[in-house]
Chains A and B, each alone.
Chain A
Amino acid sequence: MTTMSRHRFSRLADQVMTYGVLSLVAGVSLFPILWGVLTSIKLPGDLVTYPPRWIPRSATFVHYADVFLDSNMGRYFANSTLVSALTIFLTLLIGSHGGYAASRGRFRGKNALLFVILATIMIPGISVLVPLYMLASRLNLLDTYLVLVLIYTAWQVPTVLWFMQGFFDAISPELEEAAQVDGCSALQAMYRVILPLTQPGLAAAAILVFVYVWNEFIIALTMSTNDNMRMIPVGLYFYISQFGVEWGKLMAAVTVAILPIVVLFIILQRRFIQGLTSGAIKG
């Protein structure tokens, strides 16, 4: 074999290995989801077969009808949407102003203050679950949207603030100075000139918070006892006990729960990647 053809051969082997491994991993990544979706559209008789029926004989939406008509899923969906929206709003409000202040302000103790805010990320959620429950119960906040929004916001603010500070740092202060020369006040300069430039950062932060709130389970479970106040993940959890063996219905509910995030991800892949790589410690 000549050097040239050996080189070509090893390149080919390399390509086969690369595409082979990536296809395998992509398959493993998607298979559990695909299996859930397939289950959700199988006829009830096709669900519990041995060996498993890989391709459904025909599709049915009867499980989805069950999920929306026979259970409280619509309400859970609305609850999750509302709490997500409120948390995103509040977190971005505090995080962007705080990030701006952290980037531009000069005062004694600033670094210590920022360090303390960021250090709260290191307090594991499970470690403060019991006291939060006791406090919420004492303040009559159980079964409210407010308690979820307050906890989620407090846990996401440090990450978002830190993330936004990076975006503000990347914008030259001369821009505000120019705006101020043109007659803007410091606040006007921030709102009209600087904040619009950080829109990509705000979008990525909003996605980070959305994925967190939409998927969070343990706080939502602890803080709600009333079925009407449950978030989607808690609703899913109680499906197991309520409809233990109805896998078609359960997988339809799971599909409904993950659909918004997967659809958003397909549309906004780049922003997602930015948001997802920051902050993932809290259990």
Chain B
Amino acid sequence: MDVITRLRKRRRGGSGRNMLALALLLPALLYVLAVTFYPALYALQVSLHDTTYFTIGRFVGLKHYLRFLSEPDGRNNILRSLIYMGASVAIALPLGLFLAMLLNKPIRFRVFFRGAIIVPWLISQIATALLWGWLVNPQYGPIPYLLLQVSGVQLGLLADPYQAMATLVAANVWRSFPLPTLLFLAALQAVPQDMLDAAVVDGATGLRRFWYVIFPVIRNTALIAFILLTLHYFNMVTLPLVLTGGGPVGATDVMTLRIFREGFSFYRLDIASAVAMVVFALNIVFSLVYVKILRAEPLY
């Protein structure tokens, strides 16, 4: 038998390989669904009932949802989540782009700068919370001390409602700005150097060069970074839980903290599940809006 016919036979027998592919993917799918989709359905079911500890009681429809959405605490949770998410992304995304453009230049010590800038992303949220808790410690922390020297005002970085949110956002941006920086840095590699040179020859200034040459290439990356960051911030628990615990007076009490508290401090699994479903629903809304934006506009 010559090589060609043997190959043809193999190709026709390729259905064996396809069965193998299905056999490999199907268990993976079932397993992943069992640990993600099934619990989500379970949470939906719990959220529609009254619960006492672990016992599911009678069906109450949307009672827990309506209560959460109508009470001041619930609206405060939603507002705090949006402020935390919005402020963090509004700082981290432009900062990441700016740093990526600097790192993309032919500079010395690039590996050092890039490495130093990535390190915070490797630090866990809990370690970030503990490090920052010590940095802003009102008695011995270096940051309140330095701010006092500069401004002459004794700040209450975790005691004042506005300052606590600002501190939380600062710690969050510190940990997460490496992600957009890395994404933009990768995208900038795709900007053709000769196009930049041509733009310079044509007399394009920095801003125009950015807008007409660089921005079209990195636009999709900017959207993807925006999606990743907003969802990451919105779903975050650990950093706010450990750094501020939602305080003072609810100033940093984001939705995810409410879920955690209702579920594991008060054992109100019904309320916790209802808020969890609202968070899930908002995730879907955000994603759909993003997908729509991504699809709607052509790349160039």
Contacts and interface: CB of A to CB of B under 8 A. Distances in A.
Interface of A: 18-19, 21-23, 25-26, 28-30, 32-33, 35-36, 39, 47-52, 54, 94, 97-98, 100-102, 104-107, 110, 113-114, 116-117, 120, 122-135, 137, 150-151, 154-155, 157-158, 161, 177, 180-181, 186-187, 211, 214-218, 222, 233, 236-237, 240, 247, 250-251, 254, 257-258, 261-262, 265-266, 269, 272-273, 276-277, 280-283
Contact of B273 (A21, A131, A181, A281): A131
Interface in B17-44: 17-22, 24-26, 28-29, 31-37, 39-40, 42-43
Contacts of B46: 130-131, 134
Contacts of A257: 124, 127
A281 B183 contact: no
Given A33-B131, A158-B32, A218-B237, A127 B43 contact: yes
Interface in B239-288: 241-242, 256, 259-260, 263-264, 269, 272-273, 276-277, 279-280, 283-284, 287
A120 B36 contact: yes
Given A36-B131, A130-B273, A269-B115, A113 B284 contact: no
B139 interface: yes
Given A32-B132, A217-B238, A236-B130, A19 B107 contact: yes
A257 B183 CA distance: 26
A127 B22 contact: no
B190 interface: no
A233 B36 CA distance: 23
Interface centre among A51, A107, A131, A217 (most CB of B within 10 A): A131
B25 A98 contact: yes
Given A52-B141, A130-B46, A215-B125, 12 more contacts: A32-B174, A50-B140, A52-B142, A105-B20, A117-B25, A124-B231, A126-B279, A131-B46, A247-B137, A276-B121, A280-B232, A283-B232
Contact of A36 (B17, B120, B134, B263): B134
A258 B122 contact: yes
A127 B40 contact: yes
A130 B17 contact: no
- Contact size range, B: 35 or more
Given A35-B134, A128-B276, A98 B120 contact: no
Contacts of A98: 24-25, 28
Contacts of A110: 21, 25
Contact of B42 (A52, A124, A134, A272): A134
Contacts of B165: none
A154 B102 contact: no
Contact of A104 (B21, B35, B183, B241): B21
A26 B117 contact: yes
A236 B125 CA distance: 11
A124 B140 contact: no
Contacts of A214: 124
A193 B72 CA distance: 62
B173 to A, nearest CB: 10
Given A98-B25, A101-B22, A281 B235 contact: yes
Contacts of B33: 116, 120
Given A35-B142, A126-B259, A131-B273, A180 B10 contact: yes
B205 to A, nearest CB: 12
Contacts of B98: 21
Contact of A265 (B122, B182, B238): B122
A127 B279 contact: yes
Contacts of B140: 47-50, 52, 247
A110 B67 CA distance: 42
Contacts, number: 288
B236 interface: yes
B204 interface: no
Given A32-B131, A127-B40, A154-B35, A101 B24 contact: yes
B123 interface: yes
A21 B264 CA distance: 44
Contacts of B276: 126-130
A276 B259 contact: no
A150 B35 contact: yes
B292 interface: no
Nearest to B45: A131
Interface string B54-76: 10000000000000000000000
B217 interface: no
A100 B24 CA distance: 9
A29 B238 CA distance: 20
B126 A237 contact: yes
A244 to B, nearest CB: 11
A35 B246 CA distance: 25
